[in-house]
Structure 1
């Protein structure tokens, strides 16, 4: 009987997506967050609804909690950090859940309900925020029950939803480029309607694409893990007889 060595953990530079992911998150946060640190509603990127004095403080809280979520999420999906720093993984995981995703998702329900960007964006924001809360809470519940494989799957979906805000901003650019020439035709000269439509494309499409990509990756890994498991009755180093 021969023994097999445990698989070696890949070093960080063999995960080519880690560094670009962190750079994208840092760039997005550096661009999006500073206007809200002034606590001046005039600098808000989202138009507060008239007469709602609660909207802007809750929007700032949502942005800050979302910042915590996006920053800590990068460490949650980093395999080397998860494998070598178990305590750090648990700490950043708790920060992600309790100071990031859950409060940001709950606040997102209020922000989404009071959006001035039209009904399509309203529904998209409510659906996205609700899904973020549900996937995060389910991932936490799975961890507490020590069902760690399912925990990783649900937290991967939570991560995808956390990052969808950044992708929506990217999608909005080509959406605006495509729709702008149609202002006088499809939108009857209403530029606000055109901008709201472009925004709705981003907020609907970004979580859908990232969730589909995440589940595709999860299924590929699951299939790969099944292929790596030796058939029942096999002994290490000895093939199973067939025929």
Structure 2
């Protein structure tokens, strides 16, 4: 045995999981999603940037004087969450700028979902659109906070597979507000002819039903869609 010879096996660095590089046309949803988010924020944000309660699109419930300010906070923090989510799912950013991905993820959680979700719990529990919408808003807020926090904890514990799955669900709930705004006019068109019959001529009952349908359908469909996407079977590689 030669003196000084190191008989220990050479150290092998663990391989890092890298995202396979795909051409942009293999992810055709990224660009349209960005345009939809920008258009949604351009429509939704201005009334609340003026800090004028008269411009609010949500009527304040009686006995809740601070409702408007909770709503403004929810909208502003929610906008940060939507922008952060868009950055997080952009493959080019994840691949080329992992540091930006990490910082955007922290902003998404701590400057977006968590404060916006807490505001949603407050204003959702006293929604002026009736008890069915209140139940939906509170359930959505609890789930949004829960899955996002689970995703954050998984990343901190370096369980990146679990982190990705939880964050896909969080992303779906974040973007469900857009689906809500698409379902509302459809529900109006379907239910409006029934105001005199089903709703007994009550505009209040009609609008509460529209709001409840949009509230429940939007986030449940988004969450089910995310879960189906996560549970999809990977495509078999073609033989070479």
Partner Cα distance (2:166, 2:96) in 1: 22
Residue 31 of structure 2, aligned match among 19, 26, 41: 19
| Equivalent residue number for residue 186 of structure 1 | 198
Unmatched tracts of structure 1, length 5 or more: 1-5, 229-236, 238-243
Q: Which runs of 4+ in 1 moved over 2 A?
A: 11-14
| Equivalent residue number for residue 224 of structure 1 | 234
Partner Cα distance (1:86, 1:48) in 2: 42
TM-score of the superposed pair, with normalisation by structure 1: 0.87
Residue 42 of structure 1, aligned match among 40, 54, 74: 54
Partner Cα distance (1:43, 1:50) in 2: 17
Contact 2:19–2:95 under 8 Å retained in 1: no
Contact 1:11–1:80 under 8 Å retained in 2: no
Contact 2:117–2:142 under 8 Å retained in 1: yes
Contact 1:48–1:55 under 8 Å retained in 2: yes
Cα drift, residue 13 of structure 1: 4.0
Give runs of aligned pairs for residues 52-91 of structure 1, distance below 5 A: 52-91=64-103
Partner Cα distance (2:42, 2:20) in 1: 36
Matched, 1:175 2:187: yes
RMSD, aligned α-carbons:
1.6
Cα drift, residue 123 of structure 1: 0.2
Question: Residue by residue, what CA displacement relative to the aligned partner does 1:178-235 show, whole Å, maximum 9, x if unpaired?
Answer: 1000001000100121011011111100111111111111112xx328x67xxxxxxx
Which of 75-84 and 26-35 deviates more?
75-84
Contact 1:176–1:198 under 8 Å retained in 2: yes
Residue 110 of structure 1, aligned match among 117, 122, 128: 122
Give runs of aligned pairs for residues 203-222 of structure 1, distance below 5 A: 203-220=215-232
| Equivalent residue number for residue 233 of structure 1 | none
Which of 74-83 and 18-27 deviates more?
74-83
Cα drift, residue 22 of structure 1: 0.5
Give the number of aligned pairs.
221
